[in-house]
Chain A
Amino acid sequence: METGEEFGPWLARQLKLAGKTQAELADELGLTRAAVSAWITGRSTPRPTVMADIAKALGTDLGTVHTRTTDTQAGLPVTWYHRPGYPDGGRELGNAAAFAFDADVQVLARETCQNSLDERLRENGRPVRVRYTLHELTGEHLDAFRDAIRWNDLFPHYQAVSELAAHQKVGRVVDAGVRDMYEKGRLVLLRIDDYNASGLIGDDYEDGKFAAVVRRQLESLKSGPSAGGSYGLGKATLWATSALGLVLINSTLSVPHEGRTERRLIGRLELPWRRVHGETFAGPAWFGRPDPDSKNGEVVRSWWADEETAARLHLTRDSDEPGTSFLIVGAHDVASLEGDGPDLDDQIVEEEGDEDTRDIKRMHTRLVQALGRDFWAAMTGGGGRLPLLEVSVRALRNDGEVVVEETKVDPSVEQPSRTRALRAFYEGTTVDRLTEAGQVAMRNVPLKLPVPGGAAGGTSGIHQAVLLVTEADGDKDRPINQVHSLRGNRMTVRKATVPRLPIGTNPFQAVLLAGAAAGDTAPFAEEAEQFLRAAEPPEHDRWGQTEELTLRWSPSAYRRIEGLTREVNNAVRELVARPKRTVREGGEALRKALTVKSRPKAKAPTGPVIPVLKNLDATIGAAGEWVIDAEVSIPRGDEIVPMVPVALMDVRSGGRPKLDWAELEGVEGCEVQEGVLRFTPGARRAVFRGVTDAGSHPVRTALTRLVVELRAGKGE
């Protein structure tokens, strides 16, 4: 049997939830208050017969009292708490943080996966496992889920927001979300689970990861110096991706809270200011158990749910491994409509008439793509080093009907050449210069770190970042000639094309490992890591001027990054491009002008048009003769040049022996006169048939290749 927390604290909380005092319980049980107090402080435990009475007093069964894995349902039921409107009448028409992001599952993938990476449990050395599940609900499954989240209680709020729809963005999005659910009878859930991560630890209200995600906005809690700033601005993408502004959370904690770790549940709703039933509401709402300690006992807090409740809310986790599940209710992907970013133009877009932002297959494709592009390095291991991250994506419908099989994002498929490069670096098989296809060349490039706190020009140390360059892997490895830059968390921060490469340079891909990613032996890795971290904007997509950089170092500190970029581009050019020759005789311009290369062809003159051979079908006849059927296409024109069909034997070099015709006849659009094809005026297509004279063949026909040509004039 599963054993829950200690009896004392558990009982104390149940009393609090039920709004009972110790004395009241003692009265009901016919015992002294001291006896109850002794249980709660852990000095004694009740006798088995008393257990039954306690269960009765708390309105639950004996099993729950014994196992203590969940709270009794005795107290106030799980419900919605909407933050009341501000007394000063202020209205917030949406969450400012969520406004910064459009609904884009690729941005969501980047932000959430980065959070999971930062919250990875480092002690055991294992990767954090992240799984994205797209789940479409229809029919009875949709109804059951709506019951579970108490949709009927929420509906008036959505209605109130819809009325505001015309006036502001969040209202319009929510209105469209609700309408889609009713009109199409479906709801898309996007669930993000991570395992082997810290989970939402900490108190419901005080500083901690739980409060950072559930209670606060813009707060960033960093688990380590290399973290990208977990649960900061980026968490807003969770709500931005939900057309209903609704996210449910189930977390298994790595550090027990209230003596428990499993199934800590809470929901949060982001709606704009609204008036419902004459009352005004500020915006956010929470789904949880009313906290008796709060004013009027109205505020809800996370609760420890039983397995059944978690299942009804689609929040069941695979194992008791710590980590968090976010369930985005009503997920949509507006960005998928934009024909996808500039580097995704080869993607197959399945148009199905109307443009659907809730197509789970398409979201699946876009998730795999974004995860592969941004996190290939974190998913790559080698040389005895485990990857930091494992990610999979799947798509389901209703009760486990598989739409897209669970796909593990494979870095060697998504980024074949870069993955090869990083693996070679981990395994120590890099080379100094590229002499064979498939090799990985390594160079050190310096990053001059400025002195913290001002003093322009000073250098506190030179960090040696690692540059890896390798050949691009076939035609699909696009865009080519790009450097992916990353630091300790192994997320691709910057993607930049190397400029000014000579024409004909072999396509390559490059990786820049800076800061903690450059390896344990790299000098000033820690300082570089912090410097680059500070140079990253909230989007984590480039390194450059930021306020933090200005404040901690100097206003010109970002120039050090420009210096690094310059060094990187030079090193890449050195590796992949031919060294600039000593000036050659005659100058570059003349040499270029004297190169034989294809130019656009000159315009054909007007005049008689020349028919060309379009199709040829040939077989060898019984006597060894070639029997041919040929189709000729004729350009539009008033006058058609008569043509002579010529049959030749193909040879490797020298003159080709000519074969004589035994028969030649026009079948369609032409007639033969003395071996010349004369075309019917106005015809666009002609067919003729011919048989060669086997006697003119110098070699056995089965061992020859036949060439048929149409020649103008006399056909010599």
Chain B
Amino acid sequence: MKIYPYKRLGRPIALRVTSVALELADGTREPLDTSAYSTQQQAVALGVAGHDWVSAVIGVSATLPPGADAEDAPWSDLRVLAVLTDGETNIRTSTALTRDTDDSRDWSGSLEIYRDDHLGRASLAAYAVATVDGVAGRSIAETDRSWTVDTVSDEPVAGLQLEVQKASFTKSSREWLRAYADAPWIVDTSARVPTVFVNSDVDGIVGLLDSSASGVESKVRDLLVAQMATDVWTAVFHGAIGDLEVEPGGTPVFPTDWQGEVLREMLPDVVPGVHVEEALRQVHRRRTGDAGWAELQTRIHYAAIRRAEASKALGYAIRSLEQANRESEK
């Protein structure tokens, strides 16, 4: 629980993206359709135009909670900032917003972000800062849920999507894949975003995954997907837990990139009933300590299987098989 040594606003700021435009390499500006962002998912996808852009201008509008302009408010010099933070590149861009009208609670402005500053997903938040008790620049309210600005994705979704690539393991220019030529898929967690390579040498696997057929085929596909997903989630969890920064006291620090996102979602299944920070400490202790790591494997496997929705896929597949059997008996 967090405590500030000064008075703040009780409620969060509401932040909306109102427009997105790209500055292209040839100096022209291309406004994107509003479908490049999703107000429900709170996500902006800048990857729609491919890689041929230099910077993006994101129009934002923030609505302060009531009370920010109260006569008797204990602060002065109120300003509102939009802040873009990238946990991977550690770049932080702030832009001051301007009040729409003199008595309005809406502030708006636009934020310029450079493609070279970011690798993937950055988070966009708004802060109301003011001078409180004589100290300038104190934050008195923030957004409670940040927007995600993804410079690579072409789909505005809040959740991180792991990469999927198909490659012929025997002929790929990625020579390291050749060692796994007899595997139908392999997970690489050392990439920027964990990537699943699907071996196109295995006959029919690509077709099966791409298929949109119904019936038994789709059930088999879902079963395959569940199997792959279980592998992937297990691998990414280990990848994330094995590479933690540690505080001076030996406590692990929550990662800010994809590892953090994965851990935040999977830890509640691995160590249920405690806060994610506490869960991370327990997992870290078991991995680095003397005992308990082996016992934890079951929990990790369980978390991965849940995430992959394996039991659902299996259930559908079995029912579909039974049905097919019944029909063939007739």
Contacts and interface: CB of A to CB of B under 8 A. Distances in A.
Interface string B207-229: 00111100000000110011011
Nearest to A612: B275
B19 interface: yes
B73 to A, nearest CB: 19
A586 to B, nearest CB: 3
Contacts of B18: 436-438
A570 to B, nearest CB: 15
Interface string A626-670: 101010000000000000000000100111111000000000000
Given A437-B16, A613-B1, A655 B246 contact: yes
Contacts of A87: none
B35 A505 contact: yes
A436 B38 contact: no
Interface stretch (B2-10, B96-104, B168-176, B316-324): B2-10
Nearest to B269: A602
Interface in A680-716: 701-709, 711-713, 716
A505 B302 CA distance: 33
A593 B281 contact: no
Interface in B291-314: 302-303, 306-309
A706 B3 contact: yes
B242 to A, nearest CB: 18
Given A506-B35, A595-B160, A702-B133, A605 B210 contact: no
B5 A653 contact: no
Contacts of A620: 5
A707 B1 contact: yes
A711 B277 CA distance: 9
Interface in A560-606: 576-578, 581, 583-591, 593-599, 601-605
A578 B3 contact: no
A577 B155 CA distance: 11
Interface in B19-77: 19-21, 31-41, 43, 48, 59, 61
A118 interface: no
A124 interface: no
A506 B19 CA distance: 12
A394 B39 CA distance: 38
Interface in A409-454: 433-439
Contacts of B162: 594-596
B268 A601 contact: yes
Interface residues of A, number: 67
Given A585-B164, A593-B308, A602-B269, A577 B35 contact: yes
B35 A587 contact: no
A712 B285 CA distance: 12
A167 to B, nearest CB: 55
Given A507-B39, A585-B164, A436 B19 contact: yes
A435 B32 contact: yes
Contacts of B21: 435
B290 interface: no
Contact of A593 (B154, B198, B309): B309
Contacts of B43: 504
A142 interface: no
A591 B166 CA distance: 13
A597 B309 CA distance: 13
A613 B277 CA distance: 14
Contacts of B209: 586-587, 589-590
Nearest to A654: B253
B34 A594 contact: no
B196 A576 contact: no
A506 B248 CA distance: 45
A707 B273 CA distance: 20
Nearest to B226: A593
B2 A506 contact: no
A590 B225 contact: yes
A716 B34 contact: no
Interface string B138-176: 000000000000000011111111101110000000000
Contacts of A709: 1, 275, 277-278
B204 interface: no
Nearest to B17: A437
A438 B17 CA distance: 11
A136 interface: no
A31 interface: no
Given A586-B198, A593-B225, A610-B274, A602 B306 contact: yes
B210 A587 contact: yes
A455 interface: no
A618 interface: yes
Contacts of B165: 585-586
Contacts of B182: none
B3 A506 contact: no
Interface residues of B, number: 86
B232 interface: yes
Contacts of A586: 164-166, 196, 198, 209-210
Contacts of A603: 272
Contacts of B37: 506
B4 to A, nearest CB: 6
B32 A602 contact: no
Nearest to A584: B164
A471 interface: yes
* Max count, chain B CB within 10 A of own CB: residue among A434, A587, A601: A587
A597 B265 contact: yes
A100 interface: no
B43 to A, nearest CB: 7
Given A595-B161, A599-B307, A708-B3, A605 B31 contact: no
A705 B273 contact: no
Contact of A591 (B156, B161, B274): B161
* Max count, chain B CB within 10 A of own CB: residue among A436, A589, A626, A712: A589
Interface string B242-279: 00011111110100101001100100110011110110
B212 A716 contact: no
Contact of A616 (B1, B196, B248): B1
B159 A655 contact: no
Contacts of A702: 5-6, 133, 135
Contact of A590 (B2, B229, B274, B302): B229
Contacts of A605: 272-273
* Max count, chain B CB within 10 A of own CB: residue among A439, A590, A602, A630: A590
A663 to B, nearest CB: 17
A594 B196 contact: yes
Contacts of A578: 33, 35-36, 48, 154-156
A610 B273 contact: yes
Contacts of B89: none
Contacts of A507: 39-40
A84 B137 CA distance: 87
Given A506-B40, A590-B164, A654-B253, A597 B159 contact: yes
A698 to B, nearest CB: 11
Contacts of B268: 601-602
A433 B210 CA distance: 31
A593 B39 contact: no
A604 B272 contact: yes
B248 A655 contact: yes
B222 A594 contact: no
A599 B265 contact: yes
B5 A706 contact: yes
18 contacts: A435-B20, A435-B31, A437-B59, A504-B157, A507-B40, A583-B210, A586-B165, A591-B164, A593-B228, A595-B157, A596-B160, A596-B265, A602-B268, A602-B303, A604-B272, A610-B274, A653-B256, A709-B275
Given A589-B222, A593-B308, 7 more contacts: A437-B61, A504-B157, A586-B196, A601-B268, A602-B272, A655-B248, A706-B2
Interface of A: 433-439, 471, 503-507, 576-578, 581, 583-591, 593-599, 601-605, 610, 612-613, 616, 618, 620, 626, 628, 630, 650, 653-658, 701-709, 711-713, 716
Closest 6 CB pairs of A and B: A655-B247, A586-B164, A604-B273, A587-B209, A437-B18, A435-B31
